[in-house]
Amino acid sequence: MRELVKYLLGIVIILTIIYTIFISYNVFVFINSDDSNLKIESYSKDIQLIAEERASLEELFNDANLQESSNDININYDGTPISWVLKIERGSIDVPSDKFKSDLLENSFISIVNDEYIFIGPYIDKSQLELAKQYLQERFSQELGTIERWKI
């Protein structure tokens, strides 16, 4: 019986040593990580940056800007809004039209591919087409297409 108690106490001591080494290793890893260097100031800086970003987004999408952009909307005789497209000849780009269309979609521009033309749009607001034109200017280093009224 005494030997059984000795073995149990030995096992408990060995398990305690293993657990202590495990905890020590995890503490060592934590101290050497970036998480251990965080301070309240860094949290306050992150919160301040998020608040500034939110304020800039609220400034961009306020009622006055939405009202101003809606003033640019013209209506057809049947009550539908006039929409605009950027018309590009397919031969003026050196990229396959499917790749070009997916590239436009990745940059948030919708497009329609025709036999001879690629149409970006239609958009009610012409300023979106100016952004598309600027994007194409940066990508291809030349001015592509013209903004035209969309006709079905």
Each residue's pLDDT, cut to its tens digit, for the chain (152 residues) gives 889 999 999 999 999 999 999 999 999 999 888 877 777 887 888 889 999 988 887 777 766 665 555 555 666 667 677 788 888 888 788 888 788 888 888 888 888 888 888 888 887 777 788 888 888 888 877 777 778 777 76
Write down the pTM of the prediction: 0.48
Using a 10 angstrom Cβ sphere, with 0-12 exposed, 13-18 middle and 19 or more buried, the burial of residue 13 is exposed
Q: Can you tell me the distance from the alpha carbon of 12 to that of 6, in angstroms, rounded to the nearest whole number? A: 10
Query: What pLDDT shows up at residue 127?
Result: 78
Query: What pLDDT shows up at residue 86?
Result: 86
